[in-house]
Amino acid sequence: MRTLFVEAIEVLGPGLPNWDEAGAALRGEQRYASGEFDPGEPEILAPNERRRATAAIRLALRVTEQLAQRSSLDLAALPSVFASSAGDLHVTDRVCVALGRPGVPVSPFHFHNIVHNASAGYWTIGAHGCGGSTSLSAGEATFVTGLLEAACLVLAESTPVLFVCYEQPAPAAIDRHLPIVAPFATAMTIHPERAGSDCFAMHIEHVPKRDDTGMADETLERLRSGNAAARALPLLARLACRSDERVFFSTAPERARTSVAIHVEPA
Amino acid sequence: MTPTSAPMVPLYVNAYTLTSALGAGNDAALASLRAGRGGLREVELRTGRKTWLGLVDDEVIGAPLQGELAQFDCRAHRMLGSAVERDGFAAAVADARARYGAERVGCFVGTIASGLAHLEACYVRQAPCTDDLGSDVRVRHTAHLFSATEYVMRVLGIDGPSATISTACSSSAKVFACAYRHIAAGLCDAAVVAGIDCANEGFIYGFHSLGLLSAQPCRPWDRQRDGINIGEAAGFALLERVPHKRGAIALTGFGESSDAYHMTAPHPEGEGARVAIEQALRRAGLVPGDIDYVNLHGSGTPSNDRSEDAAIAAVFGGACACSSTKGWTGHTQGAAGITEAVLSFLSMRANLVPATLNTTDPDPELRTRVALENEARPVRRVLSNSFGFGGNNCALVFEVAQ
């Protein structure tokens, strides 16, 4: 695939409040400590929506807002790709619980948010973004799949693209059957040309199946392997270290015979 | 920076199939259209309320999944598994696999809910103690959105780039755009695109909670229209760079946009829809007058039809044959894009503009004339619209290749 450029990047999760502060842990200069986590309140939501926004929506919107601060681009003007493996299982849980109650009282508010593109919808509404937006899932390979769709979009449209990937643990009833260890989100602007103050060139290729690149730190590795969005961590670590060592990602589905290899270099 | 939407290299639809309330496979659907036989039926819900649903017959859906795919068993995946064998579709994919290699055939499935019905049933069964859903819950292989794509790939033995695209009711229109991008970028040589959704209770009662579920057969564009009927469908198309026969159907344009207006209500002037339609025409290198038939999103809610009418009137000025096929199939939700793409292919095959079934008294406030009866006329170029919650819009242009 043609070389593309990461114009700006952000991260959000326990112990990783933003790209600048996450750097020390990603470079291994400081031991990663997860701690309490609250993604905060998205500013682009109207006050009534803000009150009712679920954890998954807040996570996706906050990391996007952080990226908007960091990027030199107007994110609202960009087409977007929102990737999440499981989506918003809190909403699924609420709707399913209502199905078992007398009168089947499915809440219109929960139903509003049941679509996988709810976060993307709130982003486009709040930011007044009229570009095309794709929301997808590819199970454990969701991060690299979303990145590839974003890269294809950059090439097809010759425009920078907003890519957001997030994953929020499910409520207890579902978590038992689909465990996600902690919330995690990352967002980046992918550009067809060299752009931005901390710009990286990104080279993407398909290779025969390889083991996924892991994280040296045990706690970060637990996050990486227990959250589909946190599969991004090894790539983020390379960016933080300004290392051009290749990172390998399994592609979907589980039995696929190819991996995606990515290496980055400061541009 | 605005997307270029430069004219695109066409992709050819070398195989396709649809299973919906109109029957199992393309011939059944076309026979139903010709006979004026819609697929909606009246159903009483658990609350005593009545609605109309576009259900696929149980015998068409088939038996529980067996063997190593048994863990995927749920209504949605059974429907995918039986539908993919019809109209020679699986065989055409096997040929593509032999030509290009399994890892060069991509797979993009559009769905809102995948096998959510399985999880719904577990919650209802355990109510009111839903903290423990039981030990037989298979979330990852049923309700998880990607399970639909994974199941299709296992059945077809393909291994290329893949994703479940889930953008509400535009999901299985967007899959055409995703497949195009992946083929254009050289990541695969062919792609299976699909759509699947069932009449899940969460969506039936959810649409009811928003006041959007009609108790009548839905009547898009009618003065009396008052909401949707939920339908279910599984549809597939195989996209390649070259046609396999003369007169093949080609995807020649697509447009994507966001309303940036409201989560569940469309932009009142249809701005997002208009942008998607214009982008699709521009990519196809066509002007509005080139389109022979517009398959409307036409869901039958007062606001959706009003919004789409504004967009169609702005682009076409009321001068194009249009209809909504939701009155035949119901609103097949995440499968609506592929359902209406295949109905558009059948329209081209038969040179038939299907009626807007159930609609008898067109809303005089809407400027777009819709076909009230089946119309025999040449159909070589079709625009198909799909719009969804979150303001997600996708318009597709298909043409009979020269």
Distance CA B233, CA B336 (A): 8
What b/e sequence results for A99-120 when a residue is b if at least 16 CB atoms lie within 10 Å of its CB, and e otherwise? bbeeebebbeebbbbbbbbbbb
Note down the domain range covering B84.
Answer: 11-400
| Residue B5, domain member (yes or no) | no
CB B129 within 8 A of CB A173: no
User: B297 an active-site residue?
Assistant: yes
ipTM topping 0.90: yes
Pairwise CB contact (< 8 Å): B144 & A253: no
pLDDT tens digits, one per residue of B378-394: 999 999 999 999 999 99
Show the tokens assigned to A142: 């969701």
| Residue B22, domain member (yes or no) | yes
User: B178 an active-site residue?
Assistant: no
CA nearest to A178, candidates A85, A108, A98, A267: A85
Distance CA A233, CA B58 (A): 45
| Residue B3, domain member (yes or no) | no
Nearest chain A Cα distance for residue B221, angstroms: 24
Show the tokens assigned to B335: 């499968």
Please list the residues that pair with A264 across neighbouring strands.
Answer: A202
Q: Is the pTM of this model over 0.90?
A: yes
Q: Which CATH number goes with the domain that contains B133? A: 3.40.47.10
Please list the residues that pair with B387 across neighbouring strands.
Answer: B393
Pairwise CB contact (< 8 Å): B205 & A255: no
Pairwise CB contact (< 8 Å): A132 & B3: yes
| Beta carbons within 10 angstroms of residue B319's beta carbon | 11
- In chain B, the number of structural domains is 1
CB B53 within 8 A of CB B40: yes
Pairwise CB contact (< 8 Å): B163 & A149: yes
Q: What is the pLDDT along chain B (402 residues), one digit of tens a residue?
A: 445 567 899 999 999 999 999 999 999 999 999 999 999 999 999 999 999 999 999 999 989 999 999 999 999 999 999 999 999 999 999 999 999 999 999 999 999 999 999 999 999 999 998 989 998 999 999 999 999 999 999 999 999 999 999 999 999 999 999 999 999 999 999 999 999 999 999 999 999 999 999 999 999 999 999 999 999 999 999 999 999 988 899 999 999 999 999 988 999 999 999 999 999 999 999 999 999 999 999 999 999 999 999 999 999 997 899 999 999 999 999 999 999 999 999 999 999 999 999 999 999 999 999 999 999 999 999 999 999 999 999 999 999 987
* Residue ranges of domains in chain A: 4-266
Cis before B220? omega within 30: no
DSSP B169: G
pLDDT tens digits, one per residue of B215-244: 999 999 999 999 999 999 999 999 999 999
Instruction: Give the residue from chain B lying closest to A175, CA to CA.
Output: B139
**CATH fold of A4-266:** Peroxisomal Thiolase; Chain A, domain 1 (3.40.47)
User: B320 an active-site residue?
Assistant: no
Please list the residues that pair with A50 across neighbouring strands.
Answer: none
For chain A, strand residue ranges (E) read 4-12, 80-83, 133-137, 161-167, 184-191, 200-208, 247-250, 258-266
Distance CA B15, CA B10 (A): 15
* Interchain CB contacts (distance < 8 Å): A and B: 263
Nearest chain A Cα distance for residue B255, angstroms: 8
